[in-house]
Amino acid sequence: MIKSELVQHIAEQNPHLYQRDVENIVNAILDEVTEALMRGDRVELRGFGAFSVKNRPARVGRNPRTGQKVEVDEKYVPFFKTGKEMRIRLNDGVDHGDD
């Protein structure tokens, strides 16, 4: 499913809304998550999962082909952890626990 299909499904379930309103709703949600992560904040959506940002410190890497050393800058990467309810739903109601 892609974004336009998501918008279409929700618009079909809510005939009183224009497709454009639904598009704005989906974008407002995604923008809010993006902006939170850009501030380094965490986004916790119970049952679904949690988005956070992890810091990867600068390190000296190696070009695996030449073996040459390369400086790798510090970076910040988005991270997602699946929520408990979602994890259970993906496994037909069985809770296998974390990981």
Partner 1 sequence: MGNRTITRADLCEAVYQKVGLSRTESSELVERVLSEISDCLVTGESVKLSSFGSFVVRSKGERIGRNPKTGEEVPISPRRVMVFKPSNVLKQRINDALTGQAGK
Which residue from 15, 33, 62, 70 is in contact with partner 1, where contact means CB under 8 A? Answer: 33
The answer to the question of residue 11 lying near partner 1 (CB under 8 A) is no
> What is the Cα–Cα distance from 1 to 41, expressed in whole angstroms?
28
Q: Which amino acid makes up residue 55?
A: N
The phi, psi pair for 48, rounded to 5°, reads: -100, -60
The answer to the question of residue 41 lying near partner 1 (CB under 8 A) is yes
Return the number of the residue (64 or 92) whose C-beta is nearest partner 1: 92
> What is the Cα–Cα distance from 16 to 22, expressed in whole angstroms?
11
- Kindly identify the residues of this chain, within the stretch 62-91, that bind partner 1 according to CB under 8 A: 73-78, 80, 82, 86-87, 89-91
Report in angstroms the alpha-carbon separations of 27 from 4, 42, 72: 11, 18, 33
Question: Which residues make up the interface to partner 1 (CB under 8 A)?
Answer: 1-3, 6, 9-10, 13-14, 21-22, 24-26, 28-34, 36-49, 51, 53, 55, 73-78, 80, 82, 86-87, 89-91, 94, 96
